Each structure stands twice: as C-alpha cells, then as structure tokens.
C-alpha cells in the first residue's frame, strides 16, 4: 500500500533509540505516513557512529518487512552540533527546570536546533517514564491527527521552564517502553526494535557498557534484558574509557577544524 495522497511528512528526531524507532516504524508500517528523520551529530558522544549505523540497519529491517514502508523513510537530515546557535535564555530555562528535578542538558541544544531549522513540529519521543514527562505533566494537550496522535505544550504552561520544549510534539507521551515493546510485537515489528541502540559508550566489542545513564534508564524502565549487569569491573573500565575517550575526541575534533 502506498502512502495516502497528501499525507503529511512527520519530522521525527531519530536517534536509532527505542522510543524514536518505535515512532518511525509505527508511522510507516501502520499509518503509511512519510517520515523525515532528523539527527544531531555530536562529536562529544562516542555512540554517534553506532547510532547512524543502526539507523541504516533499521531501515533495512523495515524494508524486509515492507519495502513500500521503508521507502517512506526519507534520508536523515544530520545537524552538526557545533553549528547549532547558542541561546543563554534556553540555558536559563534548563536551570529553572532543574530546580524541580533532573533534566538533561540535551534539551538546550535540541531546542536551539529546532528553532534554527525552522521546525515547529519536530516530534520528540518523550515517554511516560521520561524525566521530561514530569516537567510537562499538566501542561500538554492531546491532538488526534489520524496517525496515533500527539501531545503539545499548552499556550500558557503553569511552569515557565516548560517553554524549553515549545518546538516539539510528543507522540509517545502516554506510553512506556514496555507498552511499546508489546505494540511492536503485536504489529509484527518486534525484531526491528531489537536493532535499536541506547548506550552512550559502546564497548570495543560493540555492546552496551551497562553503566552510563541510558543503560541505567533502560534497565529501570523494564528492558533490563538488553543491558549487561553493572559489575564493579564494568564500572572501572567505563570510567577509564570515558576519561581517555573524552580527551581523544576533543583532540580529534580540534585537528579536524584545522584541515
């Protein structure tokens, strides 16, 4: 089946992670909706090459299930981290949000990227267990768009800090990772989800470290089967690799800017 005539293209922030991959697969396989993926290439994060590689593997896996669906996924638009403009006002909103609880610094550059790219409808796959969901609670409204629906920030949120997430839509706001797993299995694309990537510090053998925050969150949110145990040895190895890798990435980046 081809895409519906006039179907809107969905702008999705796709990291090859569990949540965003579920959204991409659900859109193209079940709703026949074309998807424009967006990705921020951040030289500071050693998982970037793995995430881009997993995107291609996921495209191929969807193609094996349904070639027409795979064709609905457009080439990924890659946004360079160093080219995203800085905005002190967004940093101030982050600090305000952190007075109530933890919120990742990535929302500052993701919002800045969306604004710079003119994206007022970028889908950010915040889910029910996500830290950002607490910031948004009570300040989002649901929209039924015929493709699973989405939430967006209300015009006047009760928390000023919620404005940090103004450019985004939240299509998975009411779902947990386990519920996504169940829906993917029922929809016949559970095997696609097993190709997703989450760890920020891949091991030399290409597996997850088991220690970083995304590994910990994956464990806490019901998908611990995908994460190796956080042993003392893994903690030591992770610490050494993280410190040494940060220096190598910084030097490599500086050398690259001199070419």
> Does residue 3 contact residue 35 with C-beta atoms inside 8 Å?
no
Beta sheet of 150-153, edge-to-edge order = 77-80, 35-41, 10-13, 122-123, 168-170, 150-153, 140-143
Confidence band of 106 (pLDDT split at 50, 70, 90): very high
Chain centre to alpha carbon of residue 26: 15
Query: How much is the pLDDT for 252?
Result: 47
Query: How much is the pLDDT for 5?
Result: 36
Confidence band of 239 (pLDDT split at 50, 70, 90): confident
Report if pTM > 0.85: yes
| Structure letter (DSSP) for residue 77 | E
Identify the three-state secondary structure at position 105: coil
Q: Per-residue pLDDT averaged across 89-114, rounded? A: 93
Residue 172, pLDDT > 80, answer: yes
Confidence band of 251 (pLDDT split at 50, 70, 90): very low
Query: How much is the pLDDT for 102?
Result: 81
Confidence band of 8 (pLDDT split at 50, 70, 90): confident
Domains of the chain in start order, with CATH, are: 10-197 (3.40.50), 198-259 (no CATH)
Q: How many CB atoms lie within 10 A of CB 112?
A: 19
* Distance of alpha carbon 238 from alpha carbon 52, whole angstroms: 22
Residue 31, pLDDT > 80, answer: yes
Query: How much is the pLDDT for 244?
Result: 60
Residue 87, pLDDT > 60, answer: yes
Residue 181, pLDDT > 50, answer: yes
Beta-carbon contacts of 216 under 8 Å, excluding residues fewer than 6 positions away, are 230
User: Of 75-79, 143-147, 156-160, 221-225, where does mean pLDDT reach its minimum?
Assistant: 143-147
What's the pLDDT tens digit per position in 195-235? 999 999 999 999 999 999 999 999 999 999 999 999 988 88
Of 217, 211, 208, 202, whose CA–CA distance to 236 is shortest? 211
Residue 2, pLDDT > 70, answer: no
242: part of which helix (H) or strand (E)? Answer: helix 232-257
Query: How much is the pLDDT for 115?
Result: 96
């Amino acid at each position: 089946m081809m895409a519906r005539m006039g179907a809107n293209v969905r702008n999705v922030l796709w990291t090859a992670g569990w949540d965003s991959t579920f959204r991409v697969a659900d859109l193209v396989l079940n709703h026949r909706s074309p998807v424009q993926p967006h990705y921020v290439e951040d030289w500071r994060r050693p998982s970037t090459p793995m995430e881009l590689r997993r995107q291609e593997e996921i495209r191929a896996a969807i193609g094996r299930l349904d070639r027409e669906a795979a064709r609905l996924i457009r080439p990924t638009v890659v946004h360079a981290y160093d080219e995203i403009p800085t905005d002190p006002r967004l940093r101030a909103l982050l600090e305000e949000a952190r007075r109530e609880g933890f919120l990742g610094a990535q929302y500052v550059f993701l919002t800045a990227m969306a604004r710079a790219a003119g994206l007022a409808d970028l889908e950010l796959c915040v889910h029910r267990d996500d830290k950002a969901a607490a910031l948004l609670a009570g300040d989002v409204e649901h929209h039924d768009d015929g493709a699973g629906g989405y939430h967006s920030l209300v015009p006047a949120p009760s928390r000023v800090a919620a404005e940090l997430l103004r450019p985004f839509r939240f299509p998975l706001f009411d779902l947990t990772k386990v519920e996504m797993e169940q829906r993917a299995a029922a929809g016949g694309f559970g095997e696609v989800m097993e190709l997703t990537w989450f760890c920020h510090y891949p091991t030399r053998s290409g597996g997850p470290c088991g220690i970083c925050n995304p590994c910990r969150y994956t464990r806490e949110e019901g998908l611990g089967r995908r994460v190796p145990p956080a042993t003392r040895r893994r903690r030591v190895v992770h610490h050494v690799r993280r410190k040494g890798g940060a220096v190598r990435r910084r030097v490599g980046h500086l050398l690259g800017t001199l070419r």
